[in-house]
Amino acid sequence: MSISKGIALITGSAQGIGRSIAMRLAQDGFDIALNDVPTKGPQLESVATEIKSLGRQVCVVPADVIVDEQVKEMVDGAVTNLGGLDIMVANAGVATGGSLISSTVESWDHTLTVNARGTYLCYKYAAMQMIDQGRGGRIIGASSLLGKMAFPYNCSYAASKFAIRGLTQVAALELGKYGITVNAYAPGWILTDMTKGVMDESGKVDFARYIDDPVSRKWCTSVLENVPIKHIGQPEDVASIVSYLASKEAHFITGQCLSIDGGISMA
């Protein structure tokens, strides 16, 4: 086994983008703590087996990221099993659609709770651990194209992902003195199990499945049709950006939200 580059904890890593991030960081030489909700235990164990085959140490720390005590225990579990925490990737989240008028308070609260509060708790307990260790660290969160550029019929999701950008900037300002950088990544349409309900293998999105207004559908479709890079976004594309943000080379980058969307958003 090669010398470890450090310990990385990735939330929502049972599948999709989170799984790809975990695999990439393991390939980079990090030991890995895998997290998802307890019901995804079998998937987490499958990912853990793959990481072990790469010669890296791995542990599974199931938790619901919206529960304060569970997030604290998740971080403590990673530290106990692997010896510390150098990288926190707060990837867990939910994707929801719905217009401002048709949405419910319940759907709003659920989306903001998982995406915004969950990320906040991961940032908080990771920062506390990294400060105690005294060796700096990397905190990385999952924003979205919709955290930079609003699309219709995504009111709660866009709000939650814009919130992560603000949280990231505040955390970067507060934690820089400890040698901790805080950044976020903003994927566009990425082909995962979560998006397969509205996105086919060719990358075409069927907005009719959740947008009933033809004007809004036409606008969304035109945005994707005019993306500069025609490559279909894959989880590995996001993982490569996280790999860089987790590296020593990214030590002078903080408070940023990097887009992985083929050029849809250039802000």
Rounded to two decimals, the pTM is: 0.95
Domain assignment present for residue 163? The answer is yes
Active site residue 161: yes
Q: How many domains does the chain have?
A: 1
Helix (H, G, I), strand (E, B) or coil at 199: strand
The predicted-structure confidence for 75-85, as pLDDT tens digits, reads as follows: 999 999 999 99
Structure letter (DSSP) for residue 246: T
- Residue 219's pLDDT is 85
Asked whether residue 173 is assigned to any structural domain, the reply reads yes
User: Could you say which of 123, 161, 230, 244 is catalytic?
Assistant: 161
Q: For residue 202, how many other CB atoms are within 10 A of its CB?
A: 7
Whether residue 190 has pLDDT greater than 80: yes
Residue 92 domain flag: yes
Domain of 164: which CATH number? 3.40.50.720
Find, among 23, 256, 226, the residue nearest to 139 by Cα. Answer: 256
pLDDT at 54: 96
Phi, psi for residue 135 in degrees, rounded to 5: -125, 20
Using DSSP's 3-state secondary structure scheme, residue 167 falls into helix
In the residue annotation, 153 being an active-site residue is answered as: no
CB 158 within 8 A of CB 150: yes
CA end-to-end distance (rounded Å), the chain:
42
Among residues of the chain, what percentage have pLDDT more than 70?
99
For 159, left (φ over 0), alpha (ψ -120 to 50), or beta? Answer: alpha
Is there a domain that residue 207 lies in? no
CA proximity to 23, closest of 8, 3, 40, 38 = 8
Amino acid at 54: L
DSSP letters spanning 38-96: GGGHHHHHHHHHHHHHTT--EEE----TTSHHHHHHHHHHHHHHHS--SEEEE------
Assess if residue 219 is contained within a domain. no
Residue 133: enclosing H or E segment and its boundaries?
A: helix 118-133
Catalytic residue among 157, 204, 244, 248: 157
Look up the domain containing 169 and give its range.
7-190+233-260
CA distance 247 to 217: 40
**206 located within any domain:** no
* Residue 195 maps to a domain: no
217-265 per-position pLDDT tens digit: 888 888 888 899 988 899 999 999 999 999 999 999 999 999 999 999 9
Domain-located, residue 223: no
